Chain A
Amino acid sequence: MLPIPVTVLTGYLGAGKTTLLNRILTQEHGKRYAVIVNEFGEVGIDNELVAHSDEEIFEMNNGCICCTVRGDLIRMVGGLIRRKGQLDGVIIETTGLADPAPVIQTFFLDQETKERTALDAVVAVVDSRHFQGQLERSAEAREQVIFADAVILNKCDLVDEAGLEEARARIRELNPSVEIIPATRCDVPLEKVMGRRSFDLLRLLDIEPELLDEGAHEHSHGHVQSVSLVSDKAVDFERFKKWIGEFLNAQGQNVYRCKGILHLPGEKQRLVFQGVHMLMEMGFGMPWKEGEQRGSKAVFIGRGLDSLALQIAFRDCLVTS
């Protein structure tokens, strides 16, 4: 059985998640998607493919307070997949105030869930009109953007061009690599939301070039920042593995997302990695093309990151010939 793609849908209260879910559930797209919504949430959709959860979060016993997972999802995702026949995907809606990390971590940490599903993407819906105020007031609103692979910039018809540009800039400050999809009443093509394969290591071919200059640079917004590390040199895998392991162990709580593409000496394939807090997966990705400029790149998004220390540590992992 092929793993079933799972999309995590976040967004502040009133951003338009319900509109999007209604579109997904009622549009004639010939696909079967199951939706898990919060039982106390705002989504009032009654459909046989909608299941209600109570967002039961618990800490794992490994001593790391950032390793929280969702017990209800372990049960419900397994249940939906086993019982509902052929599903084309599962969408998990989180309440407006929820931190998306426990949802994502569930897909890394529960073996059965991991085997039967493929985390597809984290999609955040934001209200372009009220977004700025929400960002200032709410850490959750910021975190939702930081964790996202795609942001649906909804209610575009309610702001002018300048307001839209401002909103885009604010999103980019928080999460430079995110795809921004402008929308009115969430009228986005379904393939922009589902089947993005953002967590598929094989699809991680490059990190958006506009984010990366030679060396490291930094965007920051409040306490959240992103640090990019770039080099055209190869990386010594043993040294890198040791460093990233220790770094995430010590500071994973502050690292919301990370991803990278590494050039290893003599290796035809890219080594790719991605992580959420202290959890990381690593594997060989697509091969380098003939004549392609190889290089090593990594992006860390988090709070209180020491960009200089990251830069030095990354440089220490490079192969000097």
Chain B
Amino acid sequence: MTAARELGSGMLEWDLGAYPERAAFSADSAEMAFALGDGRIAVIDLDGLEARFRAPHEGGSCMSLAAHPKGGWLSGGDDGRLVYTSPAGECTVVHEVPGHWLEVMAVSQDGGTLAVAAGRTVLVFDLGLGSMTEYGPHQGNVSGLAFSPAGGILAATHVGGVSLWDLDEPSEPIFLELRGLNLAPAFSPDGNFLTCGHQENAIHVVDLASRKVFQLGGLPAKPGQLGWSLDGRYLLHTGTRAVVCWPVPECFSQNPEPVAFAVQEEARMTALAANTRIPFAAAGFGDGTVLLAELKRFTAFPLGLDPVSPVSCLCWSGAGLHLACGMEDGRAALLDLGKMLSEG
């Protein structure tokens, strides 16, 4: 158990003692959890305020994490195991794919469907029914997964393109060819566009109605995480030295102009989480700065964290009022947005 430190204005911080790889909130937004590089997960009660540790991937690394809609957590590890950790802390292996890292995971917006990549195959779990379906094999190892907002389509990125699976009629996927290594798919909030990052410092935006693909090239670094503003007007990505918002669909024209603000001289953005309830995004940088970016007036202000170690993960609660932050040196922080705003 690790106690919290008060950082003031709605911020709390914990030492978790290992690299936080992913963060997640429980369905009722009463708990958050971090997947840790030493095979444990840290579960933190938002009002109990003490971190409890579980060890679903003992001897390995915990690489992906999601909340189970009925309570507890599902995590993937480099031991090839998908493990359910109950609220009481009991760990059960749900599925095992020896030799594969279960690193890439996505959950549908309602929390009821979970997809996890195991090499070229994707395993999709209906968490209500407790059933599993296999999708694939894909052309290459699956590097990213995303559910459409309505939950009916699953996008899987890999070398050579993106595969779109209709989950209601799983026969053959729609395949969009994009040479090179694609990653980090993200659907726009209205489900009309799909974006994904590309190894070679580019982003592709797919208009799903026409299946036309647009490329934003020449970015300063590999866009490893993508996000959309709540209204779907802007696309954001990591790898930049500022918060950069590309207007969609205006960015399809020649020489598109993004809105860029909150320039960071020293560090690139390493983590990004767009809020799904309010027009905010959280942006974490390589020097440890976490910015709360407001996407109506395009202003940003830093959270009161010690900028000592790169930000490794960010996640908003379902209700959009809490932000979980993980730092590479093993610290975790929680922002209570309501408390921060009421305290000014």
Contacts and interface: CB of A to CB of B under 8 A. Distances in A.
A267 interface: no
Nearest to B239: A111
Interface stretch (B25-33, B59-67, B127-135, B252-260): B59-67
A61 B160 CA distance: 11
Q: Interface size for chain A: under 10, 10 to 19, 20 to 34, or 35 or more residues?
A: 20 to 34
Interface stretch (A67-75, A157-165, A211-219): A67-75
B59 A61 contact: no
A71 B99 contact: no
Contact of B61 (A52, A56, A59, A83): A83
B116 to A, nearest CB: 15
Interface in A50-81: 51-52, 54, 56, 58-62, 71-72, 74-76, 79
B20 to A, nearest CB: 10
B141 interface: yes
A74 B312 CA distance: 17
Interface of B: 18-19, 21, 37-38, 59-61, 63, 78, 99-101, 103, 119, 140-141, 143, 159-160, 179-181, 199-200, 221-222, 224, 312, 328
A83 B19 contact: yes
Given A52-B100, A85-B37, 14 more contacts: A59-B180, A60-B199, A61-B200, A71-B141, A75-B141, A75-B143, A79-B61, A79-B101, A82-B37, A83-B19, A83-B21, A83-B63, A111-B221, A112-B224
A60 B78 CA distance: 27
Contact of B159 (A58, A62, A110): A58
Contacts of B78: 51, 79, 83
Interface of A: 39, 48, 51-52, 54, 56, 58-62, 71-72, 74-76, 79, 82-85, 110-112
A54 B119 contact: yes
A197 B178 CA distance: 37
Question: Which 8 A-B pairs give the minimum distances between C-beta atoms?
Answer: A83-B37, A83-B61, A58-B159, A52-B99, A71-B181, A61-B180, A48-B59, A71-B159
A82 B328 contact: yes
